[in-house]
C-alpha cells in the first residue's frame, strides 16, 4: 500500500480549488480524496510513494476503544502494521480518556478496551515490535496537556474544522469536549514520533500538532519532534457509510448498519450489505459522484479481494447492484474470517491482553517521561543541575501520617486542610497575616494540612524559566520560615505530583464551558489582558478543583472573595459523583479566613489590597525585605500629604492612616481601638516610624530563617521532593479509586 508524507512546510490544502469535471473514476478521486495520481489541489504536496523505514523512525497512532470497522483498518491500521514490519516503532495509544465523552458504565469501557487490544493484535500489530498502551496509564499525557493549554489561546480548539463542527452540534459543551484537540496534541508529541498514519480527513489535526509543537520549540527550546502525516495514497482511507455513502464510515454514527465491523460474523456482514443504500435496479459500474452507494461497495470489494478495477467491472457489469451486494459480502467474509478467529482467541485469554497492556505501559511511560523531563527543565518546573535529591531516609514517614499525640482514630476525625499558593513573587505582609499564619495555626492545632506551591497555575501567564525556578524555591523557604513545618504538614511542588493533572483531565468531562465563562475571576482577568487569554487561564478553575478534591479535603481556608472557587469545586464533585458513582469525591467546605488580608492594603493605594502583582514594589512589604527597606517603605507610604496628628486626620487621608493602623495591629497584636487611643496625638511621620520599627522587628526572624534556607537550595529541593512523595501516595489512592469506577483499571 503506497503512502505519502506531508511535512508542516508542505501542509496547506486549499479545498476551495476542487474542480469536478465529467464523471467516472477520476472525477470521483477528487470528490473523496483519492490520490491514485496527484490531483490538482494536492499538486504542491511532495509525495513519497516509496516510503521506507530504513532510517530510525517512530510512529504514533491514537485509537478510541471500541469495535473497529473496516474503514479503521484500511484507513490507518493496515499502514501501522506495514510500518511496524518495516522496522518502525509504532506507539498505538488506546485513548480511553477521550472515550469519557461517550461514557455509559465502567464495564462497557473495560470491554471496549479489551476488544480494541484483541482486534489490533488480530490484524497484525505485534507487541514485541510495537507498543500498545492505555492513555490513562501514562500520567505524562495529562501533565503535558496542561502545559500546552497554557501555551495556546482560548480560541485554538475551534480552529480545527471537524472539531468546530462537532462542537456546534453539542447543546452543553464540557471542557473535556472543548479542549480534546490539545490532549490529542500532547498524546502525539510525547513520543517524539516522526510520522502519524492517518486518514485524509484528519490532516488538519496533524497540522495543529505541528503548529503547537513548533510554537513550544520556538518559545522554550527544541523539545518536540514534529510528526509528518503518513496518508494512504489510494482510496483505502475513504471508505464510506453503507447507509449514507456520501459520508465517511464512522464509529460515532448511531446507525449500526452503516459500518462493517472487523469482528462482525458472516451473517451480520451479509445482512448489513443487503441493506446498504444503492440503486438496486442499475448495473454495477463505478461512478462515485452519481452512484456513490455501489461505488463504495466496489471500493470495499477491491480492498478485501485484491482484484483490479478492470477485473471487478468485467466480472460484475452484468449484475444489478442488489445481486452485487452478495458478491461483496462473500469477499468481505473471506477477508474477515481469520481476523475474527484470531480476535476470539485473544479475547479468551484476558490475562494475556492485560500483559500486553502492562508491557506497553512500561515502555510508553519510559519514553513519555523522558520527553516530559526535558519539557519540565525547559519551562522551569525542575532543574536537573540541582535535582540530585538526597535519598529519602528509611525512617521518613511516607504513609498517611499520624501526628504526634494523635491516635489514628483521632486523625481520621480531624480536619483535612488543603491550600495552594502561586510562586509568582515573594510573600508580602497581607499574604502572611491573611493566610500563611492561619495555616500555621491549623497545623499546630493538630489538623492534617496539605500545602502546594502551585507552579502549574503560575504558567497560565507567561513565565521566564529562571524566575519560575527561583520563585518556587523562594516560596518554599518563605513558607517554612513563616512556621510551616514539613514534618507536620505536607509541603510540595504541584507539578511534581502528576495526579493533579490526571484528575484535572477527568473532571473536565463534567465541567461545562458556560459555567467557567461565568466565573468572576476569569471576567476580571479579561478586563486587564491586552491579548486573547490562554486556554489554561480559561480552564484553570477545574485544575484548582482537582487540587482540592485529590486529597479528600474536608476544609479549604479561603478569603471571603474566593468562596466561588470552593462552590465550583463542590459543584464539579457533585456532577462527577452523579455521572460515575456515588461518593467518589468528597465535597469540601470553606473556612473563611480572618479578614486581616482584606484589612492590609497597598501602601501606595490604600483603597486596594496589598498585592504581589502590583508593579510598584513600594506598595507592599515583603517578608524578605530588610529592616531598613521595611522602614523606608512605611515612611514613604501615601497619606495624601498630611503630616498632622493622628486624631485630626482629614477625610482624604483617613484610608491611608487606617491602613497603617491595621498593619500595626496585625504585627503587634494590639486591637485598633487601643492603638487609636495610644497614638492619637502622634504626628503622621512619628507614627510611621513607630509602625516601621514594629513591622521590621516582627519580620526580622522570618527573613533571617528564609535567608538561611535559600543558601541551601538542595535542602529545599529535598523537602519539596519528600513532600511530593507523601502527597503522591494519597493522590494515587484517589486516582486508583476513580480509575476503578471509570473502567480504566483492567488488572
Catalytically active residues are 525, 609, 612
Q: How many CB atoms lie within 10 A of CB 48?
A: 15
**454: part of which helix (H) or strand (E)?**
none
The pairs formed by 241-246 with CB atoms below 8 angstroms and a separation of 24 or more are 242/272, 242/273, 242/275, 242/276, 242/277, 242/296, 243/275, 243/276, 243/277, 244/277, 245/276, 245/277, 245/292, 245/293, 245/295, 245/296, 246/292
Q: Can you read off the three cell numbers belonging to residue 421?
A: 499558593
d(CA 479, CA 476): 5
Q: Can you read off the three cell numbers belonging to residue 632?
A: 523606608
Q: Is 394 exposed, middle or buried (0-12, 13-18, 19+ CB in 10 A)?
A: exposed
Instruction: Confirm if 517 and 545 have CB atoms less than 8 A apart.
Output: no
* Contacts of residue 563, Cβ cutoff 8 Å, sequence gap at least 6: 590, 592
d(CA 76, CA 120): 11
d(CA 562, CA 427): 18
Instruction: Confirm if 92 and 80 have CB atoms less than 8 A apart.
Output: yes
DSSP bridge partners of 452: 420, 492
How does DSSP assign 455-517, residue by residue? HHHHTTS---HHHHHHHHHHHHHHHHHTT--TTTSEEEEGGG-THHHHHHHHHTTT-BHHHHH
Phi/psi for 590 (5° steps) reads -90, 140
| Residue whose C-alpha is closest to residue 69's, from 295, 194, 243 | 243
- Cα 333 to Cα 237, 270, 326, distances in angstroms: 20, 8, 10
Name the pairing type of β-strands 3-6 and 228-232.
antiparallel
Q: How many CB atoms lie within 10 A of CB 270?
A: 17
Positive/negative CA dihedral, 440, 444, 447, 452? positive
Q: End-to-end alpha-carbon separation of the chain, Å?
A: 37
| Residue whose C-alpha is closest to residue 212's, from 269, 138, 148 | 148
d(CA 434, CA 609): 11
**DSSP secondary structure code for residue 741 in this structure:** H
As a whole number of angstroms, the longest Cα–Cα distance in the chain is 113
| Residue whose C-alpha is closest to residue 116's, from 67, 50, 49, 43 | 67
Query: CA angle, corner 50, sides to 11 and 129, nearest 5?
Result: 95
**DSSP secondary structure code for residue 276 in this structure:** S
H helix runs in 617-712, sequence order = 627-635, 651-668, 672-678, 684-710
**DSSP secondary structure code for residue 150 in this structure:** T
How does DSSP assign 244-263, residue by residue? STTSB--TT-S-GGG--BTT
For the chain, the residue count is: 747
| Residue whose C-alpha is closest to residue 501's, from 256, 138, 204 | 138
Q: b/e for 514-528, b at 16 or more Cβ within 10 A?
A: ebbeebebbeebeee
**DSSP secondary structure code for residue 213 in this structure:** H
Amino acid at each position: 500500500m503506497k503512502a505519502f508524507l506531508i511535512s508542516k512546510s508542505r501542509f496547506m490544502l486549499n479545498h476551495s480549488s476542487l474542480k469536478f469535471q465529467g464523471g467516472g473514476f477520476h472525477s470521483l478521486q477528487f470528490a473523496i480524496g483519492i490520490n491514485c495520481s496527484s490531483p490538482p489541489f494536492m499538486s504542491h504536496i511532495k509525495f513519497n510513494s516509496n516510503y521506507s523505514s530504513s532510517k530510525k523512525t517512530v510512529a504514533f497512532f491514537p485509537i478510541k476503544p471500541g469495535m473497529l470497522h473496516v474503514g479503521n483498518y484500511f484507513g490507518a491500521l493496515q499502514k501501522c502494521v506495514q510500518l511496524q514490519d518495516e522496522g518502525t516503532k509504532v506507539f498505538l495509544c488506546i485513548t480511553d480518556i477521550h472515550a469519557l465523552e461517550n461514557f455509559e458504565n465502567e464495564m462497557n469501557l473495560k470491554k471496549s478496551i479489551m476488544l480494541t487490544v484483541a482486534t489490533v493484535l488480530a490484524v497484525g500489530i505485534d507487541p514485541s515490535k510495537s507498543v500498545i498502551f492505555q492513555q490513562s496509564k501514562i500520567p505524562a499525557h495529562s501533565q503535558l496537556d496542561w502545559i500546552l493549554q497554557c501555551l495556546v489561546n482560548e480560541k485554538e480548539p475551534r480552529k480545527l474544522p471537524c472539531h468546530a463542527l462537532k462542537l456546534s452540534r453539542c447543546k452543553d459543551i464540557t471542557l473535556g469536549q472543548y479542549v480534546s484537540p490539545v490532549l490529542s496534541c500532547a498524546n502525539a508529541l510525547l513520543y517524539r514520533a516522526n510520522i502519524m498514519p492517518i486518514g485524509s480527513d484528519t490532516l488538519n489535526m496533524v497540522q495543529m500538532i505541528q503548529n503547537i509543537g513548533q510554537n513550544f520549540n520556538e518559545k522554550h527550546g527544541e523539545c518536540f519532534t514534529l510528526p509528518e502525516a503518513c496518508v494512504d495514497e489510494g482510496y483505502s482511507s475513504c471508505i464510506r457509510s453503507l447507509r449514507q455513502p456520501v459520508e465517511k464510515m464512522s464509529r460515532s454514527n448511531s446507525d449500526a448498519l452503516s459500518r462493517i465491523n472487523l469482528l462482525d460474523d458472516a451473517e451480520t456482514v451479509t445482512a448489513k450489505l443487503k441493506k446498504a443504500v444503492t440503486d438496486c435496479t442499475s448495473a454495477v459500474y463505478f461512478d462515485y459522484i452519481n452512484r456513490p452507494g455501489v461505488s463504495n461497495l466496489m471500493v470495499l470489494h477491491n480492498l478485501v479481494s485484491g482484484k483490479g478495477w478492470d477485473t471487478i467491472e468485467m466480472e460484475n457489469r452484468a449484475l444489478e447492484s442488489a445481486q452485487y451486494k452478495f458478491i461483496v459480502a462473500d469477499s468481505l467474509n473471506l477477508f474477515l474470517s481469520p481476523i475474527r478467529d484470531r480476535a476470539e482467541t485473544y479475547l479468551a485469554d484476558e490475562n494475556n491482553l492485560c500483559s500486553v497492556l502492562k508491557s506497553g505501559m512500561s515502555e510508553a511511560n519510559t519514553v513519555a517521561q523522558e520527553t516530559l523531563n526535558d519539557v519540565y527543565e525547559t519551562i522551569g518546573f525542575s532543574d536537573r543541575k540541582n535535582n540530585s535529591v538526597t535519598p529519602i531516609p528509611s525512617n521518613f514517614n511516607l504513609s498517611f501520617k499520624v501526628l504526634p499525640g494523635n491516635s489514628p482514630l483521632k486523625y481520621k476525625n480531624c480536619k483535612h486542610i488543603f491550600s495552594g499558593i502561586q510562586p509568582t513573587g515573594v510573600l508580602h505582609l497581607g499574604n502572611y497575616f491573611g493566610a500563611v499564619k492561619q495555616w500555621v495555626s491549623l497545623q499546630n492545632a493538630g489538623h492534617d494540612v496539605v500545602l502546594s506551591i502551585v507552579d502549574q497555575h503560575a504558567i497560565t501567564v507567561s513565565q521566564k524559566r529562571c524566575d519560575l525556578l527561583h520563585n518556587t524555591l523562594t516560596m518554599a523557604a518563605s513558607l517554612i520560615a513563616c512556621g510551616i513545618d514539613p514534618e507536620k504538614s505536607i509541603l510540595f511542588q504541584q507539578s511534581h505530583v502528576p495526579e493533579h493533572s490526571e484528575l484535572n483531565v477527568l473532571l473536565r468531562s463534567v465541567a461545562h464551558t458556560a459555567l467557567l465563562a461565568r466565573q468572576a475571576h476569569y471576567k476580571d482577568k479579561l478586563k486587564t489582558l491586552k491579548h486573547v487569554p490562554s486556554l489554561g487561564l480559561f480552564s484553570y478553575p477545574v485544575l484548582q478543583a482537582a487540587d482540592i478534591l485529590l486529597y479528600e479535603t474536608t476544609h479549604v481556608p479561603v478569603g471571603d472573595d474566593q468562596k466561588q472557587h470552593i462552590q465550583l469545586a463542590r459543584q464539579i464533585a457533585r456532577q462527577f459523583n452523579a455521572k460515575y458513582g456515588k461518593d467518589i469525591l468528597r465535597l469540601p467546605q470553606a473556612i473563611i479566613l480572618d479578614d486581616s488580608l482584606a484589612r492590609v492594603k497597598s501602601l501606595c493605594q490604600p483603597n486596594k489590597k496589598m498585592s504581589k502583582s502590583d508593579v510598584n514594589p513600594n506598595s507592599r512589604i515583603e517578608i524578605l525585605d530588610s529592616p531598613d527597606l521595611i522602614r523606608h517603605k512605611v515612611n514613604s507610604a501615601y497619606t495624601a500629604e498630611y503630616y498632622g496628628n493622628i486624631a485630626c486626620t482629614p477625610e482624604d487621608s483617613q484610608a491611608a492612616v487606617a491602613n497603617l493602623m491595621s498593619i500595626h495591629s496585625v504585627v503587634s497584636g494590639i486591637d485598633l481601638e487601643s492603638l487609636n487611643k495610644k497614638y492619637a496625638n502622634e504626628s503622621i511621620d512619628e507614627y510611621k516610624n513607630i509602625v516601621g520599627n514594629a513591622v521590621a522587628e516582627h519580620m526580622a526572624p522570618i527573613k533571617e530563617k528564609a535567608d538561611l534556607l535559600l543558601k541551601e537550595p538542595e535542602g529545599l529541593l529535598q523537602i519539596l521532593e519528600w513532600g511530593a512523595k507523601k502527597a503522591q501516595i494519597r493522590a494515587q489512592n484517589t486516582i486508583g479509586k476513580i480509575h476503578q469506577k471509570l473502567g480504566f483499571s483492567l488488572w
